[in-house]
Amino acid sequence: MRDGTPRVALVTGGTGGIGEAVVHALVDDGFAVAVHYAGNKTKADTLVETITAAGGRAVAVGGDVADEHAMAAAFDAVESAFGGIDVVVNTAGIMVLGPIADYDLDQFDRIVRTNLRGTFVVSQLAARHVRDGGAIINFSTSVTRTQLPKYGPYVATKAAVEGLTLILARELRGRDVTVNTVAPGPTATPLFFDSNTEQTVAALTNATPLERLGRPEDIASTVAQLAGPARWTNGQTVFVNGGLA
């Protein structure tokens, strides 16, 4: 709470598997939440209706995360609705897998635009808008360490996100704003299942000591900690992967 009013969070990709879980976790923690969507306005509106019907505070905002004008308008809309922004969680991203030698360059430009430029645009706006005492949380992947074949272009964008995030944490010295990256392991989301073969899914399910895929709620619980009580965690990449080596 800030002066008796809820803290405010903007969650990009808020209609995705992990994004939606993050929205619910933050609402449960008392946040007013802006649910960002790129294309699925109906799902965002339905999620907002569910939250508000249960007594929470939420709005839907749209826009391409890589479009600085659309996202500036989204940030402005959140501030207009709730009076400010305390936390930005940037879950928006795409995954297009393939071997580097044969990877289509148009697809490479697309994945760089969304995952890297999009994270830069959102991080830049967050640095300008997040109130003192807030948090910025970006998303990477545990594959930056496991180095699985066919993940090269995706990992390239996410490794860049890690570097960008860690430097932003240093640049915001004196603001009491934490900046971290969450790097999930294999997580049971539509994006994961759509991007991997059944054989790969089975192998990754058994790859962790916990012998299961992560759940979106597993990732959301870590985000909720970074958004709230985990004030001494700053400038870090937090791997949330069930012990994946």
- Would you please indicate which residues are annotated as catalytic (active-site) residues? 154
Helix (H), strand (E) at residue 18: helix 17-28
- Per the CB < 8 A criterion, the answer to whether 121 and 71 are in contact is yes
Q: Is 211 left (phi over 0), alpha (psi -120 to 50) or beta?
A: left
d(C-alpha 46, C-alpha 62), whole Å? 14
d(C-alpha 93, C-alpha 13), whole Å? 7
- Among 27, 25, 36, smallest CA distance to 7 is for 27
Estimate to the nearest angstrom the gap between the alpha carbon of 181 and the chain centroid. Answer: 9
d(C-alpha 175, C-alpha 159), whole Å? 25
The Cα-based distances of 203 to 3, 148, 196, 224 in angstroms read 49, 12, 11, 29
